[in-house]
Structure 1
């Protein structure tokens, strides 16, 4: 009788063990906000994982409808259409985003500025430009840029662009914000871990199925297909701005697609900037700002900010970093 009981117990243990499901990694790549998004989640099974990803996609699409400057029905387009005419009442979500963007403009001395969109049609990086725009044209465009010309009324919850022809755009902060909000939604749904990668602007939470940390690779400046160093990203975010692929060459000079809103000219002297901090929105904005400010000023700014780090690759392919970055080539 004892032998039968032992056999039954062993069989029950094996069946129970077989019913324990291990988490799986589910990944999906798609185009959102005009760019490539890769969403990875850790889920009990593939079906739940894809449901989670669909929820994240819906959240990103919702945000795009608010901040898109191409959708004429968006709140952002309404603000632009009424530049120099009247204030526009907006959702508290967009109001707060613009409020935060203005604060980043202040701490970066205007290197980051969402009103840069006034210059959207001056420089083209599709191969159609034959020469540098005239100084008069650049001067006219820059005159419409300035975060101080974005007037916010917290009581009425309105946004007013003071000059006709002004435009705001979220190309340097929108993907990071969308990644943050999608992550926040998935965390609220008890998704254990994941990565949301918005074309280089990514945010993470939890760990891999194995319990290992999520890692991001810093590209070797001499060969972007090779990794110079791996850095762990734990409950954190990273954003990279670079000119490896999007640039133009005029009269033998290379010009980045990242424009300095204070001068109207493309930035020079840096190949890429990667910023690390808790949320992707701030990473996104600061990566652009450091790219524009330049290596020395940019790293000096980051060294003064708690919980923020940066890696800069200059135009000579030399790597520079803020004080808190430690490379481990053997990771």
Structure 2
């Protein structure tokens, strides 16, 4: 049986969701059906963890903030539990209650002056993952502060990608890639029998790649400030807001994380961006299974100690 590469892309989770698989070149219709099954799995998860779709379990949790605990399925419960564990690891820099931020910065329309200091400080008052109470026996989630809500974008995409990979493997796919807007997992080999090659986008020209690295049964996620920003008095302000200060983060253009788990990549990329270059690299260097590439606002490159340049 000769294998052929099949690729399909849809819009999902406000980004592109792309699946690439190797499958029998004589069975393109079967390959398409397999890819559609992975999309169905993505939809199933999104219909549980989306904060913005009415009647999802997470929507109900947010609607009951400050009112009552909500019983949820194991998938949502343990995803939030894992998110809180990462919040503990990063001392709250990664925080799934970030959606509680007051909207005072705009990146989709002009903003001609900086918000005042008091407004900025008050904008983060409802962000605190410690407002989330988890009851493992009853599988309930309770947000005890009425102004707080959970949004799982910075870990949920990675979870969706992981579940899609598992679905594809269940359907017999031994070689493939799932990519949700830069949160990517790859396994097996490409058509040439080599590890998959993944490009690192140039922050100053998103149509170009700075370089390529091989991904062999591993995952990648990139957090970047170069595509969305506010221009105020000639100065760029990143759309990535610090959850403790309310100010846009400066100094870094992009962070790329490699690890065996795309869910971990997704959350750690955000955390390293907030930590900054030096603290971010020091954080990653604590873990043998994490690799990191940082590009600062001057275009200089910085690598974690174990980053494999190939």
TM bin (shorter chain)? over 0.9
- Conserved 8 A contact 1:230-1:327: no
- Conserved 8 A contact 1:153-1:159: yes
- Aligned-residue offset at 1:306: 2.2
- 2:216 aligned with 1:234: yes
Q: Could you list the per-position Cα deviations for residues 296-331 of structure 1 after superposition, in whole angstroms to 9, with x for gaps in the alignment?
A: 111100000120111000001000010111323xxx
- Aligned-residue offset at 1:48: 1.7
Q: How does 1:91-240 map to 2 (within 5 A)?
A: 91-119=73-101, 121-220=103-202, 223-240=205-222
- Aligned-residue offset at 1:111: 1.2
Q: Could you list the per-position Cα deviations for residues 259-317 of structure 1 after superposition, in whole angstroms to 9, with x for gaps in the alignment?
A: 11111111110000000001111101111111111011111000001201110000010
Partners of 1:35 and 1:109 in 2: how far apart?
Answer: 29
- Aligned-residue offset at 1:121: 2.8
When residues 190 and 108 of structure 1 are mapped into structure 2, their CA distance, relative to the original with a 3 A threshold, is: same
Q: Could you list the per-position Cα deviations for residues 181-212 of structure 1 after superposition, in whole angstroms to 9, with x for gaps in the alignment?
A: 10011112211211011111100111112211
Corresponding residue for residue 300 of structure 2: 318
- Aligned-residue offset at 1:49: 1.2
- 2:245 aligned with 1:260: no
1:52 is paired with a residue whose SS is: helix
Partners of 1:163 and 1:112 in 2: how far apart?
Answer: 18
* Equivalent in 28, 34, 38 of residue 56 of structure 1: 38
2:43 is paired with a residue whose SS is: helix
When residues 120 and 169 of structure 1 are mapped into structure 2, their CA distance, relative to the original with a 3 A threshold, is: farther
- 2:13 aligned with 1:33: yes
Partners of 2:115 and 2:254 in 1: how far apart?
Answer: 25
Q: Is the radius of gyration larger for structure 1 or structure 2?
A: 1
In structure 2, the gaps of 5 or more residues are none
- Conserved 8 A contact 1:33-1:61: no
- Aligned-residue offset at 1:220: 4.2
Q: Could you list the per-position Cα deviations for residues 235-267 of structure 1 after superposition, in whole angstroms to 9, with x for gaps in the alignment?
A: 110000112211111122211111111111111
Q: Could you list the per-position Cα deviations for residues 101-153 of structure 1 after superposition, in whole angstroms to 9, with x for gaps in the alignment?
A: 00111111111100001016332210243333333333333121111111111
- Conserved 8 A contact 2:102-2:123: no
Partners of 1:245 and 1:225 in 2: how far apart?
Answer: 12
Q: Which moved more, 1:140-149 or 1:267-276?
A: 140-149
- Aligned-residue offset at 1:224: 4.2
When residues 276 and 227 of structure 1 are mapped into structure 2, their CA distance, relative to the original with a 3 A threshold, is: same
* Equivalent in 295, 299, 305 of residue 277 of structure 2: 295
- Report the TM-score when normalising by structure 2: 0.95
Partners of 1:222 and 1:130 in 2: how far apart?
Answer: 24
- 2:23 aligned with 1:43: yes
- Report the TM-score when normalising by structure 1: 0.89
Normalized per residue, the structure richer in helix is: 1
- Conserved 8 A contact 1:236-1:276: yes
Corresponding residue for residue 23 of structure 1: 3
Corresponding residue for residue 80 of structure 1: 62
- Aligned-residue offset at 1:94: 0.2
